[in-house]
Amino acid sequence: MKKLVLSLLPLIGLIGGCTLTPKNNEEDPIDPPGPATEYSEPIDPFNPGNATPKLEASQEYKDLFTPTKMVRFNIDIPLASARFINQYQTNHDDCYYHDFYVPCTLTYTIDNGESVTIEEVGIRAKGNMSRRTFLNENDEMVRSTHFKLKFDETFDDDEYDELDALKPFKKNWSDSDAKKARGKRRFAQLKALDIKWNRNDDQTKVKQDFALKLFRDNGVMAQYTNLAATTFSINGHEYHDTYEIFEPIDGVFINHRFASDEADGDLYKCTYTDRGPATFKSSCEIGVENNMSYYHPSYDLKTNKKTNTTHTTLKNLFSVMNSNLNDDTKYQSELEKVFDIKDFMTYEAIAFLLGNFDDIRNNANNYYIYFSNKTNMSYVIPYDFDRLLGTGCEGRKNYMTDFSADSTKMQCSGGFQSINIYWKTVCRTTSGYPSRIEKYYNMYTSKIAELINNDSFSTSAFTSYVNQYSSEFNCNPSGAGNDNISFSDYYNLKLTAI
């Protein structure tokens, strides 16, 4: 099949040697009619590079995150636990109790296998603006909210003795060995699991899952996901919904992706908080989040909290990204010692096609960064990629289809780009700002062309991906919903703009 001709020069410049030629279909040059190709994963999607990570993926871990496997959760939340979450953890502005877990019972099956029950699993509400009350006046669950499940929770931190609201959940461990065993308890090798409701009313239900797979397939570290048919049992009442389940980005995530000598480095969650955006600058707040103190650093350390008090590697990266801006040779030399630029340009090519207006480039938000303890090399990890592919937000109808690949603006605020790494890589040269390095820009545009030409990013690929899920979930590959548009409409508008 011939390839698609795109007039890329006005918006994203020359494509670094990649040629885009027309598809042989005059009726629809963008996406010819016909059945979608059968969806298939790589030979081993959990180890595509035949690497030897610190933690080899178990079969249960693989099954949990294989979309063709049917996952069912029943989460039995005692009334006291449900009332605590509903009262203390659903107010975005009052985060004092947000980090504390209360007990529930999880029963699960994977692909109609044996039913397994795990007692005393920690549960709490999670998220930012997605938090909301979920019980009615009869203590019945009537709507969904995001939760985090924690499998090694011991419920005996000091606060369970000191805070009246937590005292009912205090667990007294008479057996020290049992407590140690609880601290080592895992589910599918995971310490925790994030489960999220379909806040965006995405009728496909898996736009974000597709996006994270696109990152993974192209070498960018990203979470594994799946859908779960989920039942909550509270106060004798059952509530049913489809939840997305996400592998948390934590130490276990890193152990699944790095060898032993590189898996003990510093991991930061990077978000736009009340302390400001995460713009890779020395002025950014760095620390360890403490909700009880209402302290939310833009760069929140998630590993090595007791040993890393100076944040030297992160601060050095900030320095490198913001120094030698007018000396391209030195900038490249210093940057490539500490930052995986090839990985980052792949990340940005995919992010551009996905059109998320709440990511690093467009809102200095929603990413993690990991530093290898062996090399100090840093890697960007996408996070919370749900505002994408035509997914709207609270009346916002800029679907990013008119966003050029070399745009100088941040799409959320509309102001000029405030992160210097983007001026050196993707933004077109503009008076008063650092000029970009064409080597990096060509890496970026070449990857965009590759993803379009090999049909990794196409309506047929998306349709095939959606259709692998059980019909029980009612995933509609042509669906829109709320302020959303369909993938196909987004895709056609995006390619027309390019």
pLDDT digits 0-9 by tens, 139-172: 999 999 999 999 999 999 999 999 999 999 999 9
CB 125 within 8 A of CB 81: no
Answer yes or no: is pLDDT of 119 > 70.
yes
Q: What pLDDT is stored for residue 481 in this prediction?
A: 79
pTM: 0.91
Q: What pLDDT is stored for residue 393 in this prediction?
A: 66
Taking all residues of the chain, what is their mean pLDDT, rounded to a whole number?
A: 90
Lowest mean pLDDT among 9-18, 65-74, 190-199, 314-323: 9-18
394: confidence class by pLDDT, cuts 50, 70, 90: low
| Residue scoring higher pLDDT (207 or 1) | 207
Distance CA 295, CA 183 (A): 26
| Residue scoring higher pLDDT (420 or 27) | 420
Q: What pLDDT is stored for residue 22 in this prediction?
A: 31
413: confidence class by pLDDT, cuts 50, 70, 90: confident
Q: What pLDDT is stored for residue 48 in this prediction?
A: 59
Q: What pLDDT is stored for residue 4 in this prediction?
A: 44
* Burial class of 185 by CB neighbour count within 10 A (0 to 12, 13 to 18, 19+): middle
CB 270 within 8 A of CB 278: yes
How far is residue 300 from each of residues 160, 305, 407, measured CA to CA in Å? 24, 10, 29
Answer yes or no: is pLDDT of 11 > 90.
no
How far is residue 45 from each of residues 50, 249, 388, 479, measured CA to CA in Å? 10, 18, 23, 27
Q: pLDDT, tens digit, for every residue of 370-384?
A: 999 999 999 999 999
Lowest mean pLDDT among 23-32, 208-217, 240-249, 347-356: 23-32
Of residues 382, 73, 367, the one with CA closest to residue 245: 73
> Helices (DSSP H) in 339-389: which residue ranges?
341-354, 360-363
Q: What pLDDT is stored for residue 395 in this prediction?
A: 62
| Residue scoring higher pLDDT (335 or 413) | 335
Helix (H, G, I), strand (E, B) or coil at 329: helix
Distance CA 384, CA 144 (A): 18
Answer yes or no: is pLDDT of 21 > 60.
no
Q: Which residues pair with 106 in a beta bridge?
A: 75, 118
Q: pLDDT, tens digit, for every residue of 288-305?
A: 999 999 999 999 999 999
Q: What pLDDT is stored for residue 438 in this prediction?
A: 97
Q: What pLDDT is stored for residue 49 in this prediction?
A: 61
Q: What pLDDT is stored for residue 399 in this prediction?
A: 72
Q: pLDDT, tens digit, for every residue of 68-114?
A: 999 999 999 999 999 999 999 999 999 999 999 999 999 999 998 99
Q: What pLDDT is stored for residue 116 in this prediction?
A: 97
Answer yes or no: is pLDDT of 209 > 70.
yes
Angle subtended at Cα 403 by Cα 323 and Cα 9, rounded to the nearest 5 degrees: 85
Q: What are phi and psi of 371, to 5 degrees?
A: -115, 120
24: confidence class by pLDDT, cuts 50, 70, 90: very low
Answer yes or no: is pLDDT of 223 > 70.
yes
Answer yes or no: is pLDDT of 35 > 60.
no
44: confidence class by pLDDT, cuts 50, 70, 90: low
Lowest mean pLDDT among 154-163, 245-254, 388-397, 433-442: 388-397
Distance CA 393, CA 238 (A): 29
> Helices (DSSP H) in 163-249: which residue ranges?
176-183, 207-217
389: confidence class by pLDDT, cuts 50, 70, 90: very high
What single-letter amino acid sits at 49? G
